Amino acid sequence: MAGKNIKVLLVEDNPGDVFLLQEFLKEVTTVVVDLMPVERLSEALNYLAKELFDVILLDLSLPDSQGLETFVITHHQAKATPIIVLTGINDETLAIKAMQEGAQDYLVKGQVTGDLLVRSMRYAIERQRADNALRQSEERFRVALKNSPIFVYNQDCELRYTWVYNPSNGLTVEEMLGKQDLDIIPVEDAQRLTTIKREVLTTGIGRREEVSITIKDTTRYYDLTVEPLRNESQEIVGVTCASIDISERQAALRDRKLAEEKIREQAALLDVATDAICVRDLNNQIIFWNKGAETLFGWKATEAWGKNANELLYDEFSPEIEAALLQVVSKGKWQGELNKLTKMNKEILVASRWSLVCDEQGKPKSILTVDTDITEKKHLEAQLFRAQRLESIGTLASGIAHDLNNILTPILAGAQLLPLKFPDADERTRHLLEILEINARRGADLVKQVLSFARGVEGKRITLQLRHIIVELGKILKETFPKSIEISTDVPQDLWMVSGDSTQLHQVLMNLCVNARDAMPNGGSLTISAENLLIDENYARMNLEAKQGPYTVITVSDTGTGIPREILDRIFEPFFTTKDVGQGTGLGLSTVLGIVKSHGGFVNVYSEPGSGTSFKVYLPAVGGMETFTPEELPPQTGHGELILVVDDEVAILEITRTSLEAHNYKILVANDGIEAIALYAKNRDKISAVLMDIMLPSLDGLTAIRTLQKINPQVRIIASSGLMSDNKLSAVAAIGVNTFLSKPYTVNELLLSLQKVLS
């Protein structure tokens, strides 16, 4: 066909495959191809009715025709034109059936090259012509197959080789003529070939198979086509066979499948890992991102691929990161702790391990990073260190107070005895002795406060109802505090009792209220409230100092200036104060902590600069379990209702999900207001209630709640926050929130809140 254009009809509806075939043909300079592409079978039939083509490239899956029927219709329209079937890897069986029906060849998409395509078209055209020429002249048949890679031979009805051309099985023509397959190849291979050829002799229908043949200890794979050989009377007198050596193609396909399977297995193992695993090239572009990284950082793999890791995960490029890069390139490894950012711009702390990955020549090509989230772990460590620091300070303060007591005792005694010893002392001397006694007493009181922090003050423990103390304290505060401060109390009638010293607990509340007053120089609101709380395992996991069991919780809240975050961890240390010299000793809160700890309780503080402060005092309840109200009774489990839980704290989400799923609820989770809105819009008819944290990144909880109410005015919402108490429910009730749940909450409280909004 050299020097002659090949006119080709391409029947293919995939524009990408058409483009690839055109590009492949442009690369081949040995032949000129006139390509006519059409997308539908009907268009192809119209062209075949008007024009002649040298070859047809036919996809069996078209918009208006599917499967083997596509070939049958085309072949019927153009019997004299060779047809090459285009197929995917998974459709080779269908292509083989088309070969049996008369297709000249098939090509597998994705494995086509320009040379292979042209060679296949040449083969198809030549084979078509050879079939016609076979009836006229064997010599013309040989000429047509000249330079072809096809091994062609004829066998009679006894399956003896009568004609052999271009053998590619390692044998010569002389070694094959007059013999059967059993004489020249292993028994198992020969029996398989004989079965195929006998079937063609019996049915008169050609077959195409992929077969393997072992000759001289070498196994080769062939694409074998067997057709009945007929005489002029159309009687079957044998078979004519054509085979193409496809060993290289089979090996490449097998290797590729093994490689793909290995890659899939490795990727599956990496995706099972809970750690975030990332691979980036030496230009810092991300080339691998596992499921753990998606979960930890919020970016989907498709979003992370190709992005600069520094821009994606860091607020700014720090010297610490630069030093890590230098070490991993020079030494091959680095590990340490890094602050990274999530998709929602939330800062997390990770334990990061970096490893340098090299190619086969040992040259660096990428960096493997494995990150473990230790944010919650560090938070718990900080609680532990704070408790240990306070304990150490308490031990030191206790020792100092003991020595000071020893020093002050004789001073105070002497100050009291000297006036008796010298009754005739002048007025100035008596005044000096009076000053000495007063200041000695002040020193003794100061030591007493230090001891209150260090080991608590031993007092008489009786069963107390704190409601009476709070009501009495409220009256005193209203009479003594400035009128610009509004005092309110909120105490339930069924408040559980505690075992404690009434004087000491009165001092705790008074110290907290005085601090609240000082934080509101221009006035504000001071609220003292109390509640019953049954702390469970979930709550104890959120708070290091909490233990399972019943507690009475007293909350002192103000609307004052708040406490700066940088000093929040130091406020309980003795002698630490932010007040001016002479206005405070720094022992008020340390005394509070000492007394509460001596009662077996703990204190939590929530504060935002400019938004006020809430101190929560937790005291173990006694003798109150039998007074459970219906609200404290075990709540009913769910009935498969779908609950949307929205919180930016991963630990809170996991604890809440586990708790609700254990009580027969279904859960959807979101990390911020934007994600919550998207999930609710998608699942509006399925979601029964929404548990929404008020303090969220990107889009705050109140704005998200208003948006959900626009989507569905009847949406049932439970608002939650660690910075607001139950008495402040009115602040969010104005926007239609059904109920409020204060953090940290127990499973019981959570289930009761859901039961309330779903009833």
Supply the pTM of this predicted model: 0.35
Per-residue pLDDT averaged across 502-530, rounded? 87
- State the pLDDT confidence band at 580, using cuts at 50, 70 and 90: very low
pLDDT at 394: 55
Q: Can you tell me the distance from the alpha carbon of 61 to that of 69, in angstroms, rounded to the nearest whole number?
A: 10
389 to 394, 397, 451, 570: CA distances (angstroms) = 8, 12, 16, 10
pLDDT for the residue 183: 87
pLDDT average, residue stretch 481-497 = 90
Amino acid at 241: C
The tokens of 342 are what? 């999530």
Res. 554: pLDDT tops 90: yes
Q: How many CA atoms lie within 13 A of 696 on its CB side?
A: 27
Give the pLDDT score at 727: 45
Cα 473 to Cα 383: distance, rounded to the nearest angstrom: 31
pLDDT of 532 reads 92
Mean pLDDT of the 7-20 span: 87
399: confidence class by pLDDT, cuts 50, 70, 90: low
More confident residue, 634 or 601: 601
> Whole-angstrom Cα distance, residue 184 to residue 215?
8
According to the model, what pLDDT value does residue 630 have? 40
- The 10s digit of each residue's pLDDT in 172-224 is 888 888 889 888 888 888 899 999 999 999 999 999 888 888 877 778 888 88
Mean of pLDDT values over 60-78: 88
Percent of the chain residues past pLDDT 70, beyond the cut? 78
User: Which of the pair, 3 or 97, is modelled with greater confidence?
Assistant: 97
Q: Select the more confidently predicted residue: 386 or 678.
A: 678
Check residues 179 and 132 and name the one with the higher pLDDT: 179
- As a whole number, the mean pLDDT across the chain is 79
Residue with the bigger pLDDT between 262 and 606: it is 606
Q: Which of 56-65, 261-270, 287-296, 473-482 is predicted least confidently? A: 261-270
What is the pLDDT averaged over residues 485-505? 88
pLDDT of residue 627: 34
Q: What is the DSSP code (8-state) at residue 424?
A: T
Q: Comparing C-alpha atoms, which of 4, 122, 119, 145 is closest to residue 55? A: 122
Q: What is the pLDDT of residue 283?
A: 85
- Given a cut of 60, whether residue 141 has pLDDT beyond it is no
Q: What percent of the chain has pLDDT over 90?
A: 15
Are 615 and 512 in contact by the 8 Å Cβ rule? The answer is yes
Q: Which of the 8 DSSP states describes residue 727? A: G
Instruction: Report the pLDDT value the prediction gives residue 666, as an integer from 0 to 100.
Output: 93
Map residue 690 onto helix, strand or coil.
strand
Tell me the two tokens of residue 406: 């020893």
Query: Average pLDDT of 487-502?
Result: 89
Beta strand 347-358 with 276-281: parallel, antiparallel or unpaired? unpaired
What confidence score (pLDDT) does residue 585 get? 43
Phi, psi at 608, each rounded to 5°: -135, 125
Examine the pLDDT at 490 and tell me if it is beyond 80. Answer: yes
DSSP 586: S
How far apart CA 24 and CA 86 sit, in angstroms, is 15
Predicted local confidence at residue 643, as pLDDT = 94
Q: What pLDDT score was predicted for residue 446?
A: 57
Residue 68 has pLDDT above 70, yes or no: yes
Instruction: Say yes or no to pLDDT of 505 above 80.
Output: yes
> What's the CA gap between 215 and 555, in Å, rounded?
91
pLDDT number for residue 469: 87
**Which tokens go with 148?**
């072809």
**Tell me: the pLDDT tens digits for 408-417?**
655 665 666 6
Helices 588-598 and 502-518 pack at an angle, to 10 degrees, of 150
* Average pLDDT estimate for 439-460: 56
Please tell me the predicted confidence (pLDDT) of residue 540.
Answer: 79
Distances in Å between the Cα of 260 and the Cα atoms of 249, 263, 266, 268, 305 are 16, 5, 10, 12, 20
Q: Find where tokens 């009580």 sit.
A: 663
Handedness of CA 108, 113, 114, 119 (dihedral sign): negative
